[in-house]
Chain A
């Protein structure tokens, strides 16, 4: 759990982060969104004390983050820096193994962990492990940066626009992988992004920042349905809102009794995907099947359209 209590950071008298309080529950993902320069990175860096706050307290699992020396604190927190920040003079494998080495893991364990992460991020350990960062594409570098942050299996992970340079396909894959890792290890994640789609998809809660202030901190559905003010509404994107809201729900939860013609859609698919399929094929209803392939019922355009508005 991360408890941020009245955190302020001033540079030359200007508050860059202004009295921000928020709680990130254990094993959840908090996504920070906001315009450029709104203080997202600064807020993130105060959690692992790369930046010391002017005022306020941050507690990790109940303990003040100043109770440990900074370097020890940072070894226990994964940090994927904005723009990857890989060590140019170290190979990909050495980069990923940085924190485990600092923590004194033995060689075999580091090697195994590095290979596991490289495989997860679709970088062949044999081919890419001995390469230097400048011999990789931007997207590959970014994946190595994320792998480096994950290497020591931290409980808390701070990620600053980690997927910015990835193409849509690899980005979706990287997001799914991160969600899977987060589920498996129960990691608490704070993620900064400019991509509202990503925020809605990844976040258990979304924090909206503007000019150093936390404008709203709530579940994605809440932010979409009841934006705190005009700024949040603009950021959320009013024209996209219904579709984002639908993307939060599963088809399973929109099933109505009855049947329909054509290929069935899995109950796990998002309601947005179902609506897209209906609109694209011009049908009024789609059959829905469960994970076991058994028919569950159907979804209708009408039913989905109702769900695209806040209750």
Chain B
């Protein structure tokens, strides 16, 4: 009974989320008490479904780009030829992380204009570090005798990378992607300050019109998405780790 309880809770959350996004009207009575002066209880300046999908798309695009760049960078600096760039790439990626996303937005708008682009840039920079760090850890802590066996079998450098190093690193890299996605899901909301179409729009609309119901529904959708995606990626990670005879941490 214990074992399937969490799964059941997740399923319930997923169903609730889908139903809420698809027909938020059904939940109006629940949110009504949070509004004043007959203000609308359900976001009425656009479709929640569209905003959710756009929000997810923004996060997806930024994460895919961050993954490609971070993993490529980690591969590069763990090759003998690229080892000297290790400190440099570490500091570059760290700068990406220490720079506040709001500042990135402010700097990016003059360069690329309002809309999705500055948000993508901020999310991309912000998502790099966890993926890079994890990929670096994974690629530098591979079991020595397995790597020796790969060389001993006559694999070329490229074959070792594709057939041994990356598959063995996959669970840990996935862990980095998971962290990055969750950070991005939350951070994407501020993209709406520069006119990106994300769920941040709902929250900002609530703040402007002092409508607690808007703020709450925007926040809850983002939170539910984060929980579900985090769980899903954790499950994939555990599966990958189990296949390798490693315990997921």
Task: List residues of chain A with CB under 8 Å of any chain B CB.
Answer: 48, 50, 71-76, 79, 81-89, 98-99, 102, 132-135, 145, 148
Check A81–B145 contact: CB distance below 8 A. Answer: yes
Check B146–A87 contact: CB distance below 8 A. Answer: yes
* B79 interfacial by beta-carbon distance below 8 Å: no
Enumerate chain B residues within 8 angstroms of A132, measured Cβ to Cβ. Answer: 243-245
Per-residue CB contact flags for chain B residues 142-153 toward chain A (1 = under 8 Å, else 0) read: 010110111111
Task: Give 8 nearest A-B pairs by CB, closest first.
Answer: A134-B245, A75-B154, A85-B149, A74-B154, A85-B145, A79-B152, A88-B244, A89-B167
The chain A residue sitting closest to B167, CB to CB, is: A89
Q: Which one of A84, A87, A102 contacts B154 once the chains associate, using CB atoms below 8 Å?
A: A102
Q: Which one of A79, A83, A134, A135 contacts B153 once the chains associate, using CB atoms below 8 Å?
A: A79
Output the least CB separation between B146 and chain A (Å). Answer: 5
Output the least CB separation between B246 and chain A (Å). Answer: 7
Check B145–A99 contact: CB distance below 8 A. Answer: no
Check A99–B153 contact: CB distance below 8 A. Answer: yes
**Can you add 15 more A-B contacts, CB < 8 Å, to A71-B155, A85-B149, A132-B243?**
A48-B152, A50-B151, A71-B154, A73-B154, A74-B153, A79-B153, A82-B145, A83-B145, A85-B152, A86-B149, A87-B150, A89-B167, A89-B168, A102-B155, A134-B244
Between A and B, 5 residue pairs with Cβ closer than 8 Å are: A71-B155, A81-B148, A88-B143, A88-B244, A132-B245
Q: Which one of A73, A85, A102 contacts B146 once the chains associate, using CB atoms below 8 Å?
A: A85
* B164 interfacial by beta-carbon distance below 8 Å: yes
Check B167–A85 contact: CB distance below 8 A. Answer: no
Check A89–B243 contact: CB distance below 8 A. Answer: yes
* B156 interfacial by beta-carbon distance below 8 Å: yes
Enumerate chain A residues within 8 angstroms of B155, measured Cβ to Cβ. Answer: 71, 102
Output the least CB separation between B149 and chain A (Å). Answer: 3
* B159 interfacial by beta-carbon distance below 8 Å: yes
Enumerate chain A residues within 8 angstroms of B152, measured Cβ to Cβ. Answer: 48, 50, 74, 79, 81, 85
Enumerate chain B residues within 8 angstroms of A79, measured Cβ to Cβ. Answer: 149, 152-153
Output the least CB separation between A74 and chain B (Å). Answer: 4
A131 to B137, CA, bound (A): 28
Binding site secondary structure of chain B: helix
Enumerate chain B residues within 8 angstroms of A48, measured Cβ to Cβ. Answer: 152
Output the least CB separation between B96 and chain A (Å). Answer: 31
Enumerate chain A residues within 8 angstroms of B244, measured Cβ to Cβ. Answer: 88-89, 132, 134
Enumerate chain B residues within 8 angstroms of A84, measured Cβ to Cβ. Answer: 145, 149
The chain B residue sitting closest to A95, CB to CB, is: B149
Check A102–B245 contact: CB distance below 8 A. Answer: no
A126 to B189, CA, bound (A): 53
Enumerate chain A residues within 8 angstroms of B167, measured Cβ to Cβ. Answer: 89
Output the least CB separation between A199 and chain B (Å). Answer: 23
Output the least CB separation between B22 and chain A (Å). Answer: 40
Output the least CB separation between B158 and chain A (Å). Answer: 10
A81 to B152, CA, bound (A): 8
Enumerate chain A residues within 8 angstroms of B151, measured Cβ to Cβ. Answer: 50, 71, 74
Enumerate chain A residues within 8 angstroms of B164, measured Cβ to Cβ. Answer: 87, 89
Check A87–B149 contact: CB distance below 8 A. Answer: yes
The chain B residue sitting closest to A103, CB to CB, is: B154
Enumerate chain B residues within 8 angstroms of A73, measured Cβ to Cβ. Answer: 154
A86 to B246, CA, bound (A): 14
Check A98–B153 contact: CB distance below 8 A. Answer: yes
Q: Which one of B148, B156, B243, B246 contacts A71 once the chains associate, using CB atoms below 8 Å?
A: B156
Residue among B150, B151, B246 facing the most chain A CB atoms (10 A cut-off): B151
Tell whether A133 pairs with B149 under 8 Å between CB atoms, given A71-B155, A89-B168: no
The chain B residue sitting closest to A94, CB to CB, is: B163
Check A85–B148 contact: CB distance below 8 A. Answer: yes
* Residues 101-152 of B at the A interface (beta carbon under 8 Å): 143, 145-146, 148-152
A82 to B148, CA, bound (A): 10
A3 to B164, CA, bound (A): 33
Check A81–B149 contact: CB distance below 8 A. Answer: yes
A133 to B244, CA, bound (A): 9
The chain A residue sitting closest to B166, CB to CB, is: A89
